[in-house]
């Protein structure tokens, strides 16, 4: 039958539902090397659907999931081990947290290890304590209270709600902090027309609260806090194996075509040897970087805008294929006959949307950094998903944040307030009087010869000649 690696779940890769990153990362490495991973758990077989979903949500590779019919856990696992050995499997490793079970398995000649053996590969959240401020915990609790009162919308996932419960107790993983910054950047418009006096709360208010925000100034505060948790290039080389990143390209040769069963799509999610825009470091992908990941048995999904609740295709369902060629990572997918699938097909066909992105992490030794930390070459990539995206992935990169800091230093404007005003400006929203005053002051200080900017109105907004103001700010950004 060949080599396999076996792992338990509870206490081994799951701590009360929270993923234990060290073992999971090891299993991902095993799977990427072409060795099937078998999950053997004492959980009852009636919990198969829930268990399978947890494994998928936490990116745990599993060629087989073997669950207990009931009874003594150690006896059950010894019986499973005997059956696997009798079937010709070479169990090169069994990872198990229970000492009694480990002893019984070793008596069969199996190489058994406890989860502590993989502590050196622990996730960033296990090796670095993130200090969660009380105001963030209070915001999350407010959102949970609103959910109990029935004010939540349909878009909140169980994962988001569970993470909100953890946040309310002062626990935020590095992965959650990474996703928070991007989530708030996309959803600020959900609070349009609301304030502290809005009653009852809208679904958008509830969503912002469970992510640690609301009202809008608190959402900006939560976004900025989350962005502050991001790793530096030097830290990245140590911890990147479990940090999920995204990269985006504009695809020149997207093809959407009709098939007998609907619409199909092809395009590149990544290209090789093409320098990225500043992150603030410059990055390239070496040809062949996806090879090991593509040879593994991990399921890769095609999503809309990295949203796991909006799938379009997957390798496991055979509705998508991923191939490396000389140019990059080619995606070929059959789009579903759903409202989302038809909408995405039309957006792609009409060129309204022309960008793809991919979510990935980097195994140990998978990237090469220059001595000054300003260039990075990706030589091995663990692929998590590919996405069709409608917005720039780097709208709030470190380079932009650094530019805002420079503007703040040059003009005396508060960096957080300036960032919030520029967000509102970019979104085309009306500016408050304070925001308008600050932006006009910034423009006047940086470009004293510029024409007078629009006068402030009495209703606490400014008239919408924002395009020219945006142009002036862009010019000054470029001159920094």
Residues in the chain: 480
pLDDT at 205: 93
Cis peptide before 288 (omega within 30 of 0): no
pLDDT band at 322 (very low <50, low <70, confident <90, very high): very high
Same structural domain, 153 and 35: no
Structural domains in the chain (count): 4
Which position has the token pair 């929203």?
A: 429
Same structural domain, 384 and 451: no
pLDDT at 143: 92
pTM: 0.40
Domain end position, chosen among 127, 155, 171: 127
Domain end position, chosen among 97, 127, 157: 127
pLDDT at 95: 94
Return the number of other C-beta atoms located less than 10 Å from residue 389's C-beta.
20
Cα angle: 95, vertex 99, 105; to 5 degrees: 60
Task: List, for residues 411-468, the tens digit of each pLDDT value.
Answer: 777 766 776 777 666 556 667 787 888 888 877 776 544 444 444 433 333 333 444 4
Task: List, for residues 40-79, the tens digit of each pLDDT value.
Answer: 999 998 999 999 998 887 878 899 999 999 889 999 999 9
Which position has the token pair 């969660």?
A: 132
What Cα–Cα distance (Å) separates residue 347 from each residue in 178, 250, 256, 314, 339?
Answer: 28, 14, 10, 20, 12
Same structural domain, 201 and 259: no
Same structural domain, 81 and 145: no
Instruction: Give the CA dihedral 124, 128, 129, 131, nearest 10 degrees.
Output: -90
3-state secondary structure 137-151: HHHHHHHHHHHHCCC
Same structural domain, 337 and 473: no
Same structural domain, 206 and 303: no
What is the rounded CA–CA span in Å between residue 183 and residue 166? Answer: 18
Domain of residue 325: give its range. 237-389
Same structural domain, 375 and 422: no
Same structural domain, 121 and 10: yes
Cis peptide before 241 (omega within 30 of 0): no
Same structural domain, 26 and 91: yes
Query: How many Cα atoms within 13 Å fall on the side-chain side of residue 67?
Result: 13
Instruction: Please say whether the beta carbons of 173 and 15 come within 8 A.
Output: no
The percentage of the chain sitting over the pLDDT mark of 70, rounded to a whole number, equals 76
Same structural domain, 219 and 326: no
Report residue 407 as tokens. Answer: 């503007």
Domain end position, chosen among 369, 389, 409: 389
Return the number of other C-beta atoms located less than 10 Å from residue 449's C-beta.
5
What is the rounded CA–CA span in Å between residue 353 and residue 355? Answer: 6
Task: List, for residues 363-383, the tens digit of each pLDDT value.
Answer: 767 888 887 777 889 998 888
Same structural domain, 446 and 318: no
Report residue 62 as tokens. Answer: 């599993």
CATH of the domain at 113: 3.40.50.1000
Same structural domain, 371 and 308: yes
pLDDT at 252: 67
Cα angle: 109, vertex 115, 117; to 5 degrees: 80
């Amino acid at each position: 039958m060949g080599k396999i690696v076996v792992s338990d779940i509870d206490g081994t890769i799951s701590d009360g539902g929270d993923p234990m990153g060290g073992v999971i990362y090891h299993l991902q490495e095993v799977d990427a090397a072409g060795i099937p991973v078998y999950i053997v758990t004492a959980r009852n077989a009636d919990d198969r659907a829930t268990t399978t979903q947890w494994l998928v949500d936490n990116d745990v590779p599993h060629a087989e999931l073997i669950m207990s019919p009931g009874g003594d856990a150690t006896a059950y696992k010894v019986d499973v081990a005997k059956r696997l050995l009798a079937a010709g499997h070479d169990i090169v490793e069994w990872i198990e947290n229970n000492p009694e079970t480990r002893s019984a398995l070793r008596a069969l000649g199996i190489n058994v290890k406890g989860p502590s053996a993989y502590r050196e590969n622990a996730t960033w959240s296990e090796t670095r304590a993130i200090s969660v401020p009380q105001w963030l915990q209070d915001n999350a609790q407010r959102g949970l209270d609103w959910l109990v009162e029935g004010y939540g919308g349909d878009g909140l996932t169980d994962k988001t709600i569970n993470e909100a419960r953890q946040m309310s107790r002062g626990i935020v993983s590095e992965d959650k902090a990474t996703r928070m910054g991007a989530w708030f950047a996309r959803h600020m418009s959900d609070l349009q027309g609301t304030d502290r006096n809005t009653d009852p709360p809208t679904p958008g208010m509830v969503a912002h609260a469970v992510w640690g925000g609301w009202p809008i100034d608190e959402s900006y505060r939560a976004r900025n806090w989350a962005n502050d948790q991001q790793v530096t290039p030097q830290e990245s080389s140590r911890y990147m194996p479990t940090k999920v990143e995204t990269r985006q390209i504009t695809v020149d040769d997207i093809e959407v075509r009709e098939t007998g069963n609907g619409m199909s799509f092809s395009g590149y999610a990544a290209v090789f040897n093409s320098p990225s825009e500043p992150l603030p470091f410059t990055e390239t992908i070496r040809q062949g970087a996806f090879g090991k990941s593509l040879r593994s048995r991990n399921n890769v999904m095609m999503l809309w805008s990295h949203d796991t609740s909006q799938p379009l295709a997957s390798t496991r369902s055979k509705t998508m294929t991923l191939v490396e060629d000389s140019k990059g990572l080619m995606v070929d997918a059959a789009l579903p006959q759903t409202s989302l699938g038809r909408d995405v097909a039309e957006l792609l066909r009409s060129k309204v949307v022309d960008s793809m992105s991919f979510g990935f992490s980097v195994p140990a030794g998978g990237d090469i950094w220059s001595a000054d930390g300003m260039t990075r070459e990706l030589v091995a990539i663990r692929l998590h998903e590919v996405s069709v995206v409608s917005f720039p992935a780097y709208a709030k990169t470190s380079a932009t944040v650094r530019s805002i800091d420079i503007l703040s230093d040059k003009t005396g404007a508060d960096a957080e307030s300036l960032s919030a005003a520029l967000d509102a400006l970019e979104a085309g929203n009306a500016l408050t009087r304070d925001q308008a005053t600050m932006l006009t002051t910034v423009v006047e200080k940086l470009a004293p010869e510029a024409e007078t900017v629009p006068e402030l109105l009495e209703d606490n907004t400014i008239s919408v000649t924002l395009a020219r103001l945006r142009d002036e700010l862009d010019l000054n950004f470029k001159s920094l």
